[in-house]
Amino acid sequence: MSSIAIDGPAGAGKSTVAKIVAAELGFVYVDTGAMYRAMALHVLGRGADINDASAVAGACESADISIERKNGEQRVILNGEDVTGRLRTEQVSSAASVVSVVPAVRAKLVMLQRELAVKENVVMDGRDIGTVVLPDAALKIFLTADAEVRAKRRYLELIAKGEEADEAKILEDIKKRDQRDMTRAEAPLKKADDGVSVDSSDMSAKEVAAKILELWRNRSE
Ligand code: DC
pLDDT, one tens digit per residue, over 21-52 is: 999 999 999 999 999 999 999 999 999 999 99
Quick one: 157 exposed, middle or buried, by C-beta within 10 A (0-12, 13-18, 19+)?
middle
CB-CB contact of 126 with 33 (8 Å): yes
- Output the residue whose Cα is nearest ligand 1's atom 11: 97
Q: Which residues of the chain, if any, have pLDDT below 50?
A: none
Domain, as residue range, for 55: 28-120
Q: Are residues 130 and 140 in contact, defined by beta-carbon separation less than 8 angstroms? A: yes
Alpha-carbon distance 126 to 39, whole Å? 15
Domain co-membership, 9 together with 59: no
Rg (CA), the chain: 17
What is the structure's pLDDT at 68? 95
pTM equals 0.94
Q: Where among 120, 142, 158 does a domain terminate? A: 120
Pocket of ligand 1 (CB under 6 A): 10, 32-33, 36-37, 96-97, 100, 126-129, 177, 181
Q: Do 20 and 54 fall within a single domain?
A: no
For residue 2, what are the contacts with CB-CB under 8 A and spacing of at least 6? 27, 121, 138
Cβ neighbours around 9 below 10 Å, total: 20
User: How does pLDDT run across 67-81, given as a tens digit for each residue?
Assistant: 999 998 999 999 999
Last residue of a domain, one of 66, 91, 120: 120
Q: Report pLDDT for 146.
A: 97
CATH number at residue 65: 3.40.50.300
* pLDDT tens digits along 183-194: 999 999 999 999
Statement to judge: residues 12 and 70 lie in one domain: no
Which pLDDT does position 220 carry in this prediction?
72
Are 139 and 177 in the same domain? yes
Q: Do 139 and 188 have their domain in common?
A: yes
Quick one: DSSP state of residue 121?
-
Q: Which of 52, 86, 120 is the last residue of a domain?
A: 120
